[in-house]
Amino acid sequence: MKVLMVDEGNSRAKFVVYQNNQYEPLPSWQICCEQHSSFDKILIASVKSEAESIANEIKAFYPNCLIEVLTTPKQAYGLTNAYIEYQRLGIDRWLAMLGARTITNHACVVVDAGTAVTIDVVDASGQHLGGYILPNVEFSANKLAERSGKITLNHPTHPEISLGQSTEACVFNGLYASHISLIKQVVEQQGIVSGKKQPVELLLTGGNSDVYHNLLVNSAVASRVESLLVFIGIQCYL
């Protein structure tokens, strides 16, 4: 089966072709249309309210393909949603956790570092315990600069969490340090169950996952980057 997987995020859409247990990321919708004339199925995950209109746009180009827009359930594939209003959990977060459950049977902390930074915790039984949503560092720094009106902030090439020695470094290092500190705290808390240390996997995904991975390495916290985590979650629906 040849499947097109679509992850429509807040800032951009990502496309992956799944075939023969292989994931092939595509750089753009245009390339997808140029290189692939048809699919057996198209699965769409969108955090935007106009998901159905996105599906219709894709349907216009692939009229003979079965298209399914994924929604967040209360429970499926061994994962249970912590939200009381379960439909309000972002489909990207749900799929990232599903992907994590596919990769590991241990308790896990899933960090998606994109337009927003989300942190979700899943125990070893597959129960989602809840999470956090943070504005990303770039957004927070820009808002601070806008409010002050006196500073210009450029994102550092190599972010650090050490003490800053310039206004830029103080702002960015402070923001990253707060994120890394929270992630470490969540991992440490989840590692203590009934007074005994339990294995907890820290999985990172999203556009800034490599940055967080490097900062965590420097903080002696083990983590792994899984750039296709959402798509691994989508694969559960096949």
Question: What residue numbers does the annotated binding site for K(+) cover?
Answer: 112
Give the CATH number, domain containing residue 24: 3.30.420.40
Q: Are 158 and 188 in a shared domain?
A: yes
Structural domain of 200 = 75-138+147-235
- Looking at 69, 91, 117, the residue that finishes a domain is 69
- Looking at 69, 96, 126, the residue that finishes a domain is 69
Q: Are 153 and 215 in a shared domain?
A: yes
Question: What residue numbers does the annotated binding site cover?
Answer: 7-14, 83, 90-93, 112, 115, 167
By the 10 Å C-beta count (0-12 exposed, 13-18 middle, 19+ buried), 178 is classed as: middle
Q: Percent of the chain beyond pLDDT 70? A: 97
pLDDT band at 193 (very low <50, low <70, confident <90, very high): low
**Which residues are part of the catalytic machinery?**
92
- Looking at 22, 37, 69, the residue that finishes a domain is 69
Question: What residue numbers does the annotated binding site for ATP cover?
Answer: 7-14, 115
User: Is the pLDDT score of 191 beyond 50?
Assistant: yes
Rounded Cα distance, 233 and 63, in Å: 25
Q: Are 202 and 151 in a shared domain?
A: yes
Q: Are 202 and 134 in a shared domain?
A: yes
Q: Are 105 and 218 in a shared domain?
A: yes
Give the angle subtended at the CA of 76 by the CAs of 74 and 78, to the nearest 5°. 120
Residue 196: per-residue pLDDT: 63
Q: Percent of the chain beyond pLDDT 90? A: 79
Q: Are 94 and 170 in a shared domain?
A: yes
- pLDDT tens by residue, 37-93: 999 999 999 987 777 778 888 999 999 999 999 999 999 999 999 999 999 999 999
Q: Which amino acid is at 116?
A: A
Q: Are 28 and 107 in a shared domain?
A: no
Q: Are 152 and 208 in a shared domain?
A: yes
Total number of domains in the chain: 2
pLDDT band at 194 (very low <50, low <70, confident <90, very high): very low
Q: Are 85 and 16 in a shared domain?
A: no
Q: Are 210 and 183 in a shared domain?
A: yes
